[in-house]
């Protein structure tokens, strides 16, 4: 019977982790903006990217088989004092493509796409979409980070369940959670951040990156939980609290308040005054 309970508890932990990862990703500011518009009885589905690491202009592709439909897009850096620039979509086979001008890592551009034919036109979105550029992250840094953060959530949830049912594995589950969090969030996380945006840490006290801040909060609570169960395995309350905190912070959309170049900053304007990226 105990074996069945153990399998059930691990199954529950994995399902909760998968659901939280999907929710976090789909609600985050890097998830594509998806929708559908209709232009002269033609339904057009679209997905507008909000993150790009290709090292060149970011191609925003829309499937539009009808050759009579053309389009334009307006864009400017964000945040900035730039005027809006308007350009035409480029047709390649059945796709219309907007090429968003390349920015340095953490640079953002907001853009708005309009499709039109001879009789009418339609905006894909009411409000401009914001895309953030980043540099490529090597697989040796990205894969361990994702895997370890996934395992952190699995072991955190499993440790919380173990604490609730007064199980015997509370100590090793707590320390495994803490180890995975340190490795994934505090070692590989900053390494990945450095590759992508040029800084190891952009959370408190250096910035407002919620991804960094929520990692720090979870770490603090798991350290407290680890100290608690080291002294006495019956002290399970802090493990439950740490598991709840971890679940809560995992529901915060990924990359919220992340690295961002402020194009209105006077120091930045002085540095690039001779090499403006967008006219």
pLDDT of residue 118: 83
**Strand, helix or coil for residue 115:** strand
pLDDT of residue 1: 46
In this prediction, residue 27 has a pLDDT band, given cuts at 50, 70 and 90, of: confident
Q: Mean pLDDT, to the nearest integer, of 34-47?
A: 91
- Are the beta carbons of 263 and 69 closer than 8 angstroms? no
pLDDT of residue 221: 97
Mean pLDDT for all residues in the chain: 90
Q: Where are the alpha helices (DSSP H) in the chain?
A: 2-27, 139-164, 170-181, 189-197, 210-231, 237-250, 266-271
Higher pLDDT residue, 182 or 261? 182
pLDDT of residue 213: 87
What number of CA atoms fall less than 13 Å from residue 114's CA on the CB side?
A: 14
Q: Is 37 exposed, middle or buried (0-12, 13-18, 19+ CB in 10 A)?
A: middle
Cα separation, 165 vs 227, in Å, equals: 20
Buried b (16+ CB within 10 A) or exposed e, 154-169: bbbbbbbbbbeeebee
Helix (H) / strand (E) element for 137: namely: none
Work out whether strand 90-92 and strand 51-52 pair parallel, antiparallel, or are unpaired. unpaired
**Strand, helix or coil for residue 183:** helix
In this prediction, residue 257 has a pLDDT band, given cuts at 50, 70 and 90, of: low
3-state helix/strand/coil string of 79-96: CCCCCCEEEECEEECCEE
In this prediction, residue 204 has a pLDDT band, given cuts at 50, 70 and 90, of: confident
DSSP string spanning 194-251? HHHHS-S--STTT---HHHHHHHHHHHHHHHHHHHHHH-TT--HHHHHHHHHHHHHHT
pLDDT higher than threshold 90 for residue 184: yes
pLDDT of residue 107: 94
Cα separation, 89 vs 104, in Å, equals: 23
Interval 63-97: pLDDT, tens: 999 888 999 999 999 999 999 999 999 999 999 99
Domains of the chain with CATH codes = 2-28+137-250 (no CATH), 33-133 (2.60.40.10)
**231-153-48 Cα angle (round to 5):** 155
Interval 103-160: pLDDT, tens: 999 999 999 999 998 889 999 999 999 999 999 999 999 999 999 999 999 999 999 9
Task: Record the tokens describing residue 187, joined without a space.
Answer: 């070692």
What is the percent of the chain with per-residue pLDDT over 90, rounded to a whole number? Answer: 70
pLDDT higher than threshold 90 for residue 256: no
pLDDT higher than threshold 50 for residue 11: yes
Interval 210-247: pLDDT, tens: 788 889 999 999 999 999 999 888 889 999 999 999 99
pLDDT of residue 278: 47
Q: Mean pLDDT, to the nearest integer, of 184-208?
A: 87
Interval 46-61: pLDDT, tens: 999 999 998 899 999 9
pLDDT of residue 279: 43
In this prediction, residue 186 has a pLDDT band, given cuts at 50, 70 and 90, of: very high
Task: Record the tokens describing residue 156, joined without a space.
Answer: 């955190």
Cα separation, 215 vs 183, in Å, equals: 11
């Amino acid at each position: 019977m105990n074996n069945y309970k153990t399998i059930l508890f691990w199954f529950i932990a994995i399902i909760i982790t998968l659901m939280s990862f999907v929710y976090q990703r789909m609600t985050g500011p890097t998830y594509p903006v998806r929708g559908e518009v209709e232009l002269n009885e033609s339904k057009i589905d679209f997905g507008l990217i909000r993150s790009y690491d290709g090292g060149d202009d970011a191609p925003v592709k829309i499937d539009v088989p009808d050759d009579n439909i053309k389009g334009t897009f307006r864009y400017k850096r964000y945040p900035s004092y730039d005027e809006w620039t308007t350009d035409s979509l480029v047709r390649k086979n059945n796709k219309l493509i907007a090429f968003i001008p390349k920015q340095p890592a953490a640079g953002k551009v907001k853009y708005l796409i309009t499709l039109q034919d001879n009789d009418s036109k339609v905006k894909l979105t009411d409000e401009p979409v914001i895309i953030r550029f980043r540099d490529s992250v090597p697989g040796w840094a990205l894969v361990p980070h994702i895997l370890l953060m996934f395992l952190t959530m699995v072991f955190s949830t499993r440790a919380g369940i173990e604490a609730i049912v007064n199980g015997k594995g509370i100590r090793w589950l707590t320390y495994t959670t803490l180890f995975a969090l340190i490795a994934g969030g505090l070692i590989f996380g900053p390494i990945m951040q450095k590759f992508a945006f040029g800084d190891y840490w952009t959370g408190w006290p250096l910035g407002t990156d919620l991804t960094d801040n929520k990692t720090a909060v979870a770490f603090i609570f798991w350290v407290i939980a680890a100290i608690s169960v080291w002294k006495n395995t019956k002290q399970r309350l802090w493990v439950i609290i740490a598991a709840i905190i971890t679940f809560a912070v995992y529901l915060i959309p990924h990359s919220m308040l992340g690295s961002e170049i402020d194009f209105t900053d006077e120091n930045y304007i002085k540095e690039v005054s001779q090499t403006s990226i967008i006219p």
